[in-house]
Structure 1
Amino acid sequence: MQKRQFLASAASWAAASSSPWLAGCAAPGATAAPADAIFFGGPILTMNNAQPQVEAVAVRGGRIAAVGQRQAVQALQGPQTRMVDLQGRSLIPGFVDPHSHIGGVGLQAISANLLPPPDGGNASIAELQRTLRAYMQSSPEVGELAVVFGFGYDDSQLRELRHPTRDDLDAVSRELPVVVIHQSGHFGALNSLALARAGITASTPDPEGGVIRRKSGGREPDGVLEENAFFHTLGRLMPKLSQEQAISWLEKAQQLYLQFGYTTAQDGRADPGSVATAIAAAEAGRLVLDVVSYPDILQMGDGAFMQGPYYGHSYTKRFRIGGVKLTLDGSPQGKTAWLTQPYLVPPQGQKPGYRGYAVLSDAKANEQVAKAIANGWQILVHGNGDAAIDQFIAAVRASGPVDRARAVRPVLIHGQTLRRDQIPQLKELGIFPSLFPMHTFYWGDWHRDSVLGDPRAQNISPTGWVLEQGMRFSSHHDAPVALPSSIRVLDATVNRTTRSGQVLGPEHCVSPWIALQAQTLWSAYQHFEDAHKGSIEPGKLADLVILSDNPLTMERHKLATLQVLETIKGGRSVYRLNPQDS
């Protein structure tokens, strides 16, 4: 076991013991004001390596007032202090979302659920069609929007091993536009009416960084759109929402994040409309968790919001703009990620030797990365394929002095085919890796058998290699690519078990302690927020989660059975699994 993993595992073991060295406490002074609440009676996992587990936590004014031995912390108990007996359940810091698209989760929340098992019931195109028909009969949004949206189909999990086509969707409806979105978010399929509304015909050329798939033997679109072809079309078909509708969608998304213990959520590729909605929600006091937005640097318009009060490291009414986002390639499961070596099985219509493709030229990528760093904007860069990661590394090098680049803490998003030789370069340039081990569950078998083959599939999101270099990483869910499930992220980061039950890349399995840090303290560090989030320490925000079991001591293969029982934001309960419990 690598030294770092060994030390972290030792810390985890010690946290589960009753050793006297865990008894440290930020001892309250004799004149300290009483706490609003004191938590005790279960394992309290602080994510602080210096004091991994404590007996009690006191909260006052939305922040942590004291941690340590129960007897010492209870000195802050007053007549109005709420005493919370955990009854053996675990308390941890609130999860900090290192990468997702909360704005997209709003669309997912009002769309037909086309996810395959275990998150949905769509294992064939016929089942997908039945789901859409049932949704059309029951959903008020269909009548309101006059468009049928479905979210989450996955060609790799459909019995037919292909995308639904315009003909499949015409069988659902010819009277309404039908738009179904791939689980990766990088593809979509449209029926004939939706294609017509979007102005896509046999004479429409493929856009730069995108593909309009055609029927065999001709130029007629078959309904499936890749990358920029899909992104541009979705924007044209999206109904114009009122501000109230847009905020309502955001609130529905917010509830999903709270259900899984997230107290900070990210909007990782926001457009100006999404930014405006989040600001309106913040001003109306309708944000319960913190939302940090990264507008797409290519779609910023005049970018005026980068100069306004919401840009910076501090939240205003629970919202802030943290930097910008840039996308360099597509998805490996959809076989549009840009690789240096060919895909194991090329996708439909592609010849052997196909390696995916870039979204931007090197010159354009260099220009955008340099623009962000020159302005002092943190930049999140979507790079799944190792060729895209090479492009990102080269762009950071070309941007100017290394110290200036390191100061903005650039972030590699996904890094699924990150090569071992690239990791020292990330370290040198100060690029923080936000990895996607959850792919091992959802698409691990597909990566091994069709996308990459071994050994490349074994090393997707190579957390072991990152730790080997003494680096931190974060672990994300990329919702709405998957549900914003902190528990699924935790399980996959620790176990890397595929749908078929195989372990993909055992050398990259990490301890539960490290996996939790990657979802809390290290995620907060990624966002420049670790001074006040991510661990249970005096002075930090009382962002807390109560779990049904102790992830450090339970059997690792059962981590997926953990439940979030309560989410607490700034000392206030904002979600309970059983609302009647108090």
Structure 2
Amino acid sequence: MWRNLAVGLGWMAMSGIALAADADKIYINAQIVTMNDAQPAAQALAIKDGLVIAVGDQQSVLAHKSATTKVIDLKGKTLLPGFVDAHGHVSMTGLQAVSANLLPAPDGKGNSIAALQQILKEYAATPLARSKGIIIGFGYDDAQLKERRAPTRQELDAVSRDKPVLVIHQSGHLGALNSKALQMVGLNADSKDPEGGQIQREADGRTPNGVLEETAWFASGMKLIQPSPADYAAMLLAGQQLYARFGFTTGQDGRSDENSNKTWAGLAQGNKMLIDVVSYPDLAMPFTDELMRSAWNQRAYRGHFRVGGVKLSLDGSPQGKTAFLSHPYHVPPKGKPADYRGYPTFRDDEAERLIDKAYANNWQLLVHANGDAAADQMLSGVGKAVAKYGLLDRRNVMIHAQTVREEQLDAMQRLGIVPSFFGMHAYYWGDWHRDETLGPQRADRISPAMSALHRGMTFTQHHDAPVAFPDAIAILDAVVNRRTRSRDILGPDQRLPIAVALKSITLWAAWQHFEDGSKGSIEPGKLADLVVLSANPMTIDPEHLRSIQVLETIKEGNTIYQAKAPASVKSVKSVKSAKAAKDAAK
């Protein structure tokens, strides 16, 4: 129903026919950055039934005012399309929201192992930890810890010997367990390393020291996190609330598992979703085939949820030194040889088999490839699949593409692969990459978005939450300035213009999801997914981008997040998301 209305309104707008509908709401006195090249800026917009029906100068938009229209005066504040998540993990963000915050400054206080221990002890005393019988912390980062290493099982035993203690690396690709947790998951000196992962050992070379990498972590560490259905639903709602706080109206659940998809479906059927969530289940998992054959796998949302395609992970994280590189790490991890390059998740033949499966079924494919050797695996597999099944408009995505080389970008362009860059690394781990993982020359080219732009490629930027907060403003600051924590500029020639950076998290991100017909820009006929900012990113000094605040997030015309607004900002009270999208599948 609403899809048809959107198409009709869009056609009328393009045809120059006046839209006579009385507006539900009109925003005036705004600096509107539309992301629509045909009309880049405006001062007012009108909304009806969750859709934009007019955008332009104040006088023409106010023509849609009726006796029942709410007029909201933004008094010079900036209005943009709601941010679209090109890659993140909304379900894991929910886990982050209910865990102890182990992030280092500026997002937390986890800058030493002693600080982690204190944070975990304080969390252990909370009603949540006492009731669940487990102590969970999220976000430790050995790159920022004073000790420059992960906590060991003995250091986590100092938090508790009786309860399992589990801490998750900020990348999500590693974790550490105390002795109780290791015992519960059955890991001991006789345990073997799984393919695509490692169990770190103590000096005897046998006894686990508590740290698990990649598939060892996913297979064992995550077993300890088994929330009840009600708790899991609450976690997923908490993740959506965090997204809304940062201005996102569309979130992605990349590499989603069976439990999260069942819970998303339940929330959608119960009309309990706050934002749109598009899920990409793990291609390598057995449950995925059935999910991809279900009614959830479609382009239209049902109750604000849908399955968009599949996710395949080919390596780990560069900051954790598990990404698969073509050349050795600048400083190898302790105990590793000088030629250590990380390692792949799958053998080449298995990666090719899985890529072929996605192409054979015409499933959109998102491939996690941080290291350039992992990128080579993807390019080889996709090249063979394209030769077999044809190119088509698949919009398959290389997620992260952090160390992708120039000739690899050429191959991506030929094969129709969309780069989705994790440009926030320039700030969060730029110094670490320069000094530890990649060395100065390779670090300067990390997340080479300008190289893609020079080729005329459409690309996106993402936050990979909960690896970083789902913070769109932090993305803009990182990719426009590329300043590290130490204020160095990492690869100045890869800095993006602000207009391009904004497109990469709005219109181009919507395009990546095949949703640019309804999202990503402010145009008549599109969803009224909007964000109100304290300043205009197009005109502010780029060095001050990080100071911009999200004041309000609007999903289909209704406020789903509102900051404690300054006196100069008036808006409607927060309400539930509109029912319009609920009927989209009818």
Q: TM-score, normalised by structure 2?
A: 0.93
2: CA distance, partners of 1:181 / 1:30 = 55
Secondary structure at 1:204 match in 2: coil
Does 1:187 pair with 2:174?
yes
Aligned to 2:583: none
Aligned to 2:503: 517
Query: Which residue, out of 36, 40, 48, partners 1:52?
Result: 40
Aligned to 1:82: 70
Q: Aligned-pair distance for 1:350?
A: 0.3
Query: Which residue, out of 201, 205, 217, partners 1:218?
Result: 205
2: CA distance, partners of 1:116 / 1:70 = 45
2: CA distance, partners of 1:549 / 1:458 = 30
2: CA distance, partners of 1:342 / 1:334 = 14
Aligned to 2:215: 228
Contact 1:26 1:67 in 2 (8 A): no
Could you list the runs of 5+ residues in structure 2 that have no partner in the other structure? 1-12, 572-586
Does 1:102 pair with 2:90?
yes
Does 1:410 pair with 2:367?
no
Contact 1:268 1:295 in 2 (8 A): yes
Contact 1:406 1:429 in 2 (8 A): no
Correspondence list, 1:245-264, <5 A: 245-264=231-250
Aligned to 1:298: 284
One-letter identity of the residue aligned with 1:494: V
Aligned to 1:382: 368
Secondary structure at 2:72 match in 1: strand
2: CA distance, partners of 1:523 / 1:109 = 25
2: CA distance, partners of 1:410 / 1:369 = 11
Compared CA separation, residues 145 and 54, structure 1 to 2 (3 A): same
2: CA distance, partners of 1:33 / 1:285 = 27
Aligned to 1:343: 329
1: CA distance, partners of 2:480 / 2:51 = 30
Deviates more, 1:473-482 or 1:28-37: 28-37
One-letter identity of the residue aligned with 2:225: M
2: CA distance, partners of 1:40 / 1:430 = 41
Q: Aligned-pair distance for 1:541?
A: 0.4
Residue deviations 1:266-314 (CA, integer Å, cap 9, x gap): 0001011110010011111110100000000111426222112111111
Contact 1:28 1:75 in 2 (8 A): no
Deviates more, 1:400-409 or 1:50-59: 400-409
Residue deviations 1:56-113 (CA, integer Å, cap 9, x gap): 2111111110112221111111111111211111000000000000110111111100
2: CA distance, partners of 1:95 / 1:300 = 32
Residue deviations 1:369-405 (CA, integer Å, cap 9, x gap): 1101110110100000000001100000111437734
Does 1:113 pair with 2:101?
yes
Q: Aligned-pair distance for 1:150?
A: 0.4
Q: Aligned-pair distance for 1:512?
A: 1.1
CA RMSD across the alignment: 1.4
Contact 2:282 2:288 in 1 (8 A): no
2: CA distance, partners of 1:550 / 1:30 = 29
One-letter identity of the residue aligned with 2:177: L
Aligned to 1:289: 275
Aligned to 1:168: 155
Contact 1:27 1:72 in 2 (8 A): no
Residue deviations 1:12-46 (CA, integer Å, cap 9, x gap): xxxxxxxxxxxxx8798567121111112121000
% identity of equivalent residues: 50
Secondary structure at 1:399 match in 2: helix
1: CA distance, partners of 2:250 / 2:557 = 14
Could you list the runs of 5+ residues in structure 1 that have no partner in the other structure? 1-24
Aligned to 1:42: 30
One-letter identity of the residue aligned with 2:450: G
Residue deviations 1:156-178 (CA, integer Å, cap 9, x gap): 10001011000100111001000
Does 1:502 pair with 2:493?
no
Query: Which residue, out of 420, 424, 431, partners 1:445?
Result: 431
Query: Which residue, out of 416, 426, 446, partners 1:430?
Result: 416
One-letter identity of the residue aligned with 2:201: R
Would you say how many aligned residue pairs link Structure 1 and Structure 2?
A: 556
